[in-house]
Amino acid sequence: MKILGQKINRRFFLSFFSLSALTNFLPQKVFGVSDYRNDKNIPKQYIQNRDRPGFFIRSANPFMGVDMNEWSLSVRGMVKTPREFKYEDLFGLKKISQVSRLKCVECWSATAKWEGFSFQEVIDMVQPDPKAKYVYLQSADSYYESFTLEELIRPRVLMILRMNGQPLSKDHGFPLRLIAPFKYGYKNIKYITSIEFTDSRKRNYWSINGPYSVDGTIQPGIDHPLDYKKKPLPINGGEVFHPFDKRPL
Amino acid sequence: MRCFLLVVFFLIFFFGCGKDEVEQIKVDIPEGIVVPDDMVYIPSGNFIMGHSDYPDTKKGKVINQEAFLIDRFEVTREQFGSFNQDYRFHPKKARFPASLVTYKQAEGYCNWKGRRLPNETEWEKSARGSDGRKWAWKKYYEHPNNGFSGFIPEAVDDRDEWISPYGVYGMGHNVWEWTSDWYVSGKTSKSDSKLYKVIRGGVTQTHTVIKFTPTFFRNKMEPKAYFNFIGFRCACSIDCS
C-alpha cells in the first residue's frame, strides 16, 4: 500500500511515530495559545490562577469578578467620619503613577505602570483615631489582609485604579487594589471592598490558610523575573529593583 | 543487665541530643584593657576576608585588622527603646533584636552608648575568626526551616550553638546588621558608590526555603530603609570603655 508515494510498512510506522514524539519538544505556541488555567474544574470565565506570559494571575478564591452594581468601598472602624465610596468618587482623588515590580512569594516577579492615590488621602477623609495603628482590608473574593497604618503611608504604597494605561482588568483587581512594592504579592490585595481601622492587628488570609507570614516583607533571596526569562537574580530585601529596572529618584 | 543497658542507651541518647559546642579561638586579653560585660575583645592579626567564588567580596585576601571591641549580642528592642522613647515593642519580645531601624537611628544609638557601628572588616573578622570559617559556628547545618515563609527573629542570646569563634552571637542567622561601610563592588560606578550601606549576617529566603549566609556574604541596603529583617550591633576601639 502507498500513501503520497510512500510505501506503508513496519519501518514507515516506526519512523512516523518517532517523529510525532519529537513534537513534544517543540514550543507550545507553535500549536496556538495554551490554556493557562491551573485547575480545569473551575469554569473558564472565573478569575483564577493563570500563568499568563508577562504577568501571572493569582487568585486565592476564584470568582466571577466584581459586580459594579453592588460594589462600593466602605471605610470604617476607629474613624471620626466613616465613608462609603462609589467607583466614581475615587477618581476625584489626587493621581499618582509609578512603575514598580510585583514580587510574588512563589519566586516570580513582573513590572507594570500603576496609577492610583495614596493611602494618606483615605486617612485625611475619615480621620482615624490616634489609637488606630492597624488597617484591615477585605475584598470581593473573600480575601483579607492586614497592615500597620505606618506601612500604608510609606512612599510608593498606592491604592490602584489603573494599570499600564488602562483601568484595572478583572484579573488584576478591578475596580481597586493595593500596591505595596516592598511586600510580597499576596499582601497586594485586589477587589478591595472595605478598609477598617483597628487598634489591634488581625491576621491575613495566607497566614491562616497557608505558610505565609502576616508581615510579608520581601526578604533577601532570589527572584525569577518574568521579564528576564525567569532567570534567577539575587535580591537584597524590600522593594525589588534589578539592574535593568529604573529606580525612582 | 537489662537495666544497665537501658541506662547506657539513655545516656547515649541524652548526650547525643545535646547542642554542639562551637569551637572557640583562645584569646588573651592584654593587660590594662577593660572589656565591658556586653562586649567581646577581638584580637589584632591576620584573617581571610571574602571568598574567591564570590566576586563582590575581598575574594579570600589576607587582611590585617587591629584589635577592637564588639557587642556580644545584637542590640535588643528594650535597649533601643531606652534610647528612642517612640520605639514600641511587645514586652515579651524585649530581648529580640531591634529592627525597623534606619542606618542613622542605629548609628545614633551606638554614638549615644559611646560606641559606633562596626565596619565590614571588623564584622567579618568577628564572625569568621582567624581560621577562615565559612560559617561562624564552623560546621555546616541546613537551616531548621519549618516550611514557613516570613522572617522569624529570635532573642539575641538564644543560640549558643551558632556563636562565632570569639563567642559573638547572631552572626549569620538572625537579623541582617548595619555596618558603617558603603557598598562598593567591581560593578559599582563612582556616582553609585554612596547609595547603599553594607548589611551582614542574616538569612536568605526564597519561597519557603531559608538559608544561612556565609560569614563573607555581603548584602546592601539604602540607609533610609527600615525593615523587620535589619538590626545592628555596636563596636568600638579597645580604649573606648
Residues of B in contact with A106 (CB under 8 A): 207
In this prediction, residue A66 carries a pLDDT of 96
- The CA distance from A48 to the nearest CA of chain B, in Å, is 21
For residue A99, the tally of other CB atoms under 10 A from its CB is: 13
Task: Please state the domain extents for chain B.
Answer: 39-236
**Nearest CA of chain A to the CA of B75: how many Å?**
21
Q: What is the pLDDT of residue A37?
A: 57
Residue for cell digits 492615590?
Answer: A117
Instruction: Say how many domains are in chain A.
Output: 1
Cβ within 8 Å, pair B225-A222: no
Q: What is the pLDDT of residue B2?
A: 57
Q: Are A162 and A116 in contact (CB under 8 A)?
A: yes
The topology under which CATH files domain B39-236 is paralog of FGE (formylglycine-generating enzyme) (3.90.1580)
pLDDT for residue A74: 98
Q: Which chain B residues are within 8 Å of A212, Cβ to Cβ?
A: 148-150
Interface test with B, best of A147, A209, A236, A241 (most B CBs within 10 A): A236
Banded model confidence at residue B101, pLDDT cuts 50, 70, 90: very high
Residue identified by cell 541518647 is B13
**Residue B8, pLDDT above cutoff 90:** no
pLDDT of residue A223: 97
Is A169 among the domain residues? yes
Q: How far is A162 from chain B (nearest CA, A)?
A: 27
Q: pLDDT (tens digit, 9 = 90+) per residue, A3-53?
A: 444 555 545 444 444 444 444 444 444 444 455 556 778 888 899 998 999
Residue A4 is assigned to a structural domain of this protein: no
Letter string b/e over residues A53-85, b meaning 16 or more CB atoms within 10 A of that residue's CB: eebbbbbbebbebbeeeebebebebbbeeeeeb
pLDDT greater than 50 at residue B13: no
In 3D space, the residue among A166, A53, A32 whose CA is nearest the CA of residue A108 turns out to be A53
Q: Please give the pLDDT value at position B5.
A: 53
Please report residues of B whose CB lies closer than 8 A to that of A213: 148-152
* CATH code of residue A131: 3.90.420.10
Residue A116 lies in a domain: yes
- Are A215 and B176 in contact (CB < 8 Å)? no
Q: Convert the pLDDT of each residue in B144-192 to its tens digit.
A: 887 888 999 999 999 999 999 999 999 999 999 999 999 999 888 888 8
Task: Give the per-residue pLDDT at B4.
Answer: 55
Beta strands in B25-111 (DSSP E): 39-42, 45-49, 61-65, 68-71
pTM of the predicted structure, to 2 decimals: 0.88
Which structural domain, as residue segments, surrounds residue A219? 39-235
A10 belongs to a structural domain:
no
Residue A5 lies inside a defined structural domain of this protein: no
Q: How far, CA to CA in Å, does B101 sit from each of A83, B98, B199, B231?
A: 34, 7, 13, 7
B3: pLDDT confidence band, cut at 50, 70 and 90? low
- Could you tell me the pLDDT band of residue B95, with boundaries at 50, 70 and 90? very high
Give the residues of chain A that fall short of pLDDT 50: 1-5, 10, 12-33
What backbone phi and psi angles, to 5 degrees, belong to B208?
-105, 15
* pLDDT of res. A115: 98
Q: How high does pLDDT run on average in chain B?
A: 92
Q: Which residues of B lie inside 8 Å of A (Cβ-Cβ)? A: 147-152, 176, 199, 202-208, 219-221, 225, 227-230
The beta-carbon neighbor of B207 closest among A106, A215, A217 is: A106
